[in-house]
Amino acid sequence: VTKRVALLRKVWDLPNAPEDEVCPEVVFAGRSNVGKSSLVNMLLNRTALAPTSARPGKTKTMDFFDVNSGHPALPRFRLVDVPGLGFARVSRDLRDRWIGLIGGYFVQRKSLKIVFHLLDAGLCEIMPADRELWRLLAQAKRTDYELCVVLTKADNTIPSQLQRFAKIVREALRQEGSELALHATIFACSSKSKLGKDTLWRKIWSAVGG
Ligand code: GTP
Ligand code: MG
């Protein structure tokens, strides 16, 4: 564990990242292809602001989307889209770099207010890459942001399955045992049907001072 944190610190290097502590940020993380970029687009009423693809491994950089920066009367904040975890068809180097970026961001970014962890509701399963994300969060040892698990692609499932999955996730978070995991909120959403959009916005809004 100690070794992994050292690696994160070493790899953490975001020369083009916008300055920290300018405005609050919320990040959308999770497995490759789970629908992170689609969710950013859905929330911002755009179709292709964050590029998406049916093939995993589309997002290759950490992308910061400024919201309200042109509206002095409204709270300014950022939505952050990141590369997916667990995508097998990238080199080990690149995979380590992405884990380093995301883990380093969890450790160091002071502006971070919410980590949205997306899980595919259609799959109804927690994968090793999801546990890797929880491990990164536990290693960051921070409690000044919160974890929200988003069961996405809810349009691909039926309510009873969604409820079953929510129970599985709750139990897995309990076993994970970290402060963040124990206090995590669970939402359902769909970027396709826009289910959960208002709830997600309320959550974001309350975290960014709206
Ligand atoms: P990476 O950037 O590769 O990590 O993927 P990502 O997590 O950003 O996923 P992306 O938004 O690119 O979406 C992956 C695929 O899932 C695309 O084909 C989307 O159209 C599809 N998708 C995303 N959200 C939903 C949803 O809510 N419902 C359905 N049915 N499909 C979705
Ligand atoms: Mg993406």
Instruction: Tell me which residue has its CA closest to atom 19 in ligand 1.
Output: 54
Give the chain's length.
210
**Please, which pLDDT band fits residue 15 given cuts at 50, 70 and 90?**
low
**Please, which pLDDT band fits residue 175 given cuts at 50, 70 and 90?**
very high
Pocket lining: 40 vs ligand 1, CB cutoff 6 Å: no
Judging by beta carbons within 10 Å of its beta carbon (0-12, 13-18, 19+), is residue 90 exposed, middle or buried?
middle
Give me the interface pTM, i.e. the ipTM: 0.99
The identity of residue 92, as a single letter, is: R
Atom of ligand 1 nearest to the CA of 152: 27
Q: Given this model, what pLDDT does residue 71 score? A: 86
Pocket lining: 122 vs ligand 1, CB cutoff 6 Å: no
C-alpha 31 – ligand 2 centre gap (Å): 9
Atom of ligand 1 nearest to the CA of 54: 18
Q: What is 2-14+25-207's CATH number?
A: 3.40.50.300
Instruction: Tell me which residue has its CA closest to atom 2 in ligand 1.
Output: 59
C-alpha 32 – ligand 1 centre gap (Å): 9
pLDDT tens, residue by residue, 131-153: 999 999 999 999 999 999 999 99
Pocket lining: 155 vs ligand 1, CB cutoff 6 Å: yes
114 or 86, which is more confident = 114
Residue 110 and residue 23 in contact, taking contact as beta carbons nearer than 8 Å: no
Q: Given this model, what pLDDT does residue 7 score? A: 43
Q: Given this model, what pLDDT does residue 91 score? A: 84
* Tokens found for residue 191: 């970027």
Pocket lining: 32 vs ligand 1, CB cutoff 6 Å: yes
Delimit the domains of the chain by residue range: 2-14+25-207
Pocket lining: 192 vs ligand 1, CB cutoff 6 Å: yes
Asked if the model's pLDDT at residue 1 lies above 80, the reply is no
The candidate with the shortest Cα–Cα distance to 191, out of 32, 47, 78, is 47
pLDDT tens, residue by residue, 28-49: 999 999 999 999 999 999 999 9
* Tokens found for residue 162: 């969604």
List CB contacts of 86: < 8 A, sequence separation 6 or more. 31, 32, 127, 128, 129, 130, 132
Residue 8 and residue 135 in contact, taking contact as beta carbons nearer than 8 Å: no
Sign of the CA dihedral with 59 first, then 109, 6, and 3 last = negative
